[in-house]
Amino acid sequence: MLQYLVQGILLGGLYAIIGIGMSMVFGIMRLTNLAHGDLMILSAYLALTFCDLLGGNLLLATLFTIIAMVIIGFLIQAFLVNHVLSKGAEPALLVTFGISVFLANLLHNIFSADYQSLPNSLTNTQVISTDLVSISAIYLFSFVVAILMIVGLHFLMQRTNFGRSIRATSDDDMAAGLTGVNTKRAYVYAMMLSMAVTAVSGVLIGSTYTFNASMGSSYLIIAFGVVVIGGMGSLIGTLLGGIVLGVAQLLGSYFLGTGVQLLVAYLVLLVVLATRPNGLLARATRK
């Protein structure tokens, strides 16, 4: 039981990173990126490919993956999403849906349906190993990375001009535009930043679990759940959302069996959606 709780909390850290990328795009341009899960899986595959090419150097492969994903984020935002954002929420949503279908099937064709994982030394290392609890190093590592990234992003958003222009656009895009912020460019930056985070989350997921091309949609729902439970644009809430989902999932597997663990997480998400649609930590709603 304790084992499941601890593992759930650490898993929550991993989920939080998946959610941050989505939260950013959602908070800033009110766009639900339905391709988010698939883009994450794409990063995992990219890391796998780079890793092979670079002779197994995962750290360097991660760097290349981040660069590649930032470029992809730029392309998606500048050439696709920016053009349909002005036509309302639905066309943009459906564009990302199309990207999701495209990516999931493309990856399936290139890499087949086999489960893959990123080779690393942390997966089989136990940090703590007692009768009560044993913690895998990769879980702890993901959790630490999640917290570091949340703190880092918090500073970036609060303390830099870059962050201010993005936040201004998020609060009121017209007013931001009037004061000299290039809102379309701010959207592109936000998407690129989101993709950088997504790249990291993809690498972490790939090192922690096995993955295949069709898993994007379940990670999308996790990402969405994290964002909804945590509240839009709240970085701390995102961590909380991740932990709630992670704990729900692992307690579900403890009490009901591994087959239904995701079902429990989904039910928790639905209950939160129906009762507190602005998130558990909801302040006064924006807009």
Partner 1 sequence: MKFDGQTLAGNTGFKVGKKVLLVVVLLLLALLPMFPNSAYLVSTVTLIMIYMALGQMWNLLGGYAGLLSLGMQAFIGIGGYSLAVFSIDAGLNIFVAVFLGGVISVLFGLVVSPALFKMTGVYFAIGTWVVAEALMIFFSNWSVVDYAKGIMIRSVYFLTGEQIYYIAVLLGVISVLVVYLLMRSKTGLALMAIRDNPAAAESMGVKIFSTKLKCYMIACFFTGITGGVAYINLAYITPSASISTQWTIAMTFMVIIGGIGTMEGPIIGSIIYVALTQYLYNFPGISMTILGAIAVAAIMVVPNGIMGTIHNKTGFELLSPRRIMPPDWKKLLGVERAKEQVEAAGDKASKKE
Contacting positions for partner 1 (CB under 8 A):
30, 32, 80, 83-84, 87, 89-91, 93-95, 97-106, 108-109, 217-218, 221, 224-225, 228, 257, 259-260, 262-263, 266-267, 269-271, 273-274, 277
Closest distance to partner 1 from the beta carbon of 87 (Å): 6
Q: Report the residue number, 91 or 152, with the smaller CB distance to partner 1.
A: 91
Structure tokens at 277: 């649609």
Q: Residue 56 or 91: which CB sits closer to partner 1?
A: 91
CB 224, min distance to partner 1, A = 5
Other CB atoms within 10 A of residue 78 CB: 16
Quickly list DSSP for 83-102.
Answer: HHHTT-HHHHHHHHHHHHHH
- Nearer Cβ to partner 1 (28/181): 28
In angstroms, give the least distance from the CB of 210 to partner 1.
18
Rounded distance between C-alpha atoms, residue 68 and residue 87, angstroms: 29
The Cα 230–Cα 211 span in angstroms is 25
CB closer to partner 1, 66 vs 220 = 220
Q: Residue 134: what are its φ and ψ, rounded to 5°?
A: -135, 135
In whole angstroms, the minimum distance from the beta carbon of 60 to partner 1 comes to 30
Complex with partner 1: residue 35 or 199, whichever CB lies closer: 35
If phi > 0 it is left, if psi is from -120 to 50 it is alpha, else beta; for residue 181 that is beta
Over the range 15-50, which residues count as b (16 or more CB within 10 Å of their CB) and which as e?
bbbbbbbbbbbbbbbebbbbbbbbbbbbbbbbbbbb
In the bound complex, what is the minimum distance in angstroms from residue 20's beta carbon to partner 1?
Answer: 17
**161, 155, 176, 282: which is closest to 230 by C-alpha?**
282
Residue among 220 and 235 whose Cβ is closer to partner 1? 220
Smallest gap from Cβ 9 to partner 1, in A, equals: 23
- Nearest Cα to 194, choosing from 96, 285, 84? 96
